[in-house]
């Protein structure tokens, strides 16, 4: 396996629009593990681990998000996967 970890910080209207829940559904469908978390500054942080093609698919989904969201920017950092996640979850 060639797993990677992407940490994505999504800016825009992404809190209070079911962004985390919709991301959880999308990530689970793609076989991606990790979490989505609301940040105090209004962004959503998505930490995802999977093969690069699955991470790219999740990134493409995150660019749109759920219908009520407006994504202005996504900052992505890549690192080595840790294997610490067994599923994708919402963190509070």
Residues assigned a catalytic role: 20, 38
Give the up-direction half-sphere exposure of residue 12: CA atoms within 13 A in the CB hemisphere.
Answer: 17
Pull the structure tokens for residue 6: 């992407």
Matching residue, tokens 């396996």: 1
CA distances from 18 to 51, 52, 83 (A): 25, 25, 26
């Amino acid at each position: 396996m060639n797993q990677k970890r992407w940490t994505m910080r999504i800016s825009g209207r992404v809190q209070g629009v079911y962004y985390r829940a919709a991301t959880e559904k999308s990530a689970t469908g793609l076989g991606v593990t990790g979490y989505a978390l609301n940040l105090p500054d209004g962004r959503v942080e998505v930490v995802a681990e999977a093969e690069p093609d699955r991470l790219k698919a999740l990134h493409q989904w995150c660019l749109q998000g759920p219908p009520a969201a407006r994504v202005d920017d996504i900052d992505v950092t890549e690192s080595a996967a840790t294997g610490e996640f067994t599923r994708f979850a919402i963190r509070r």
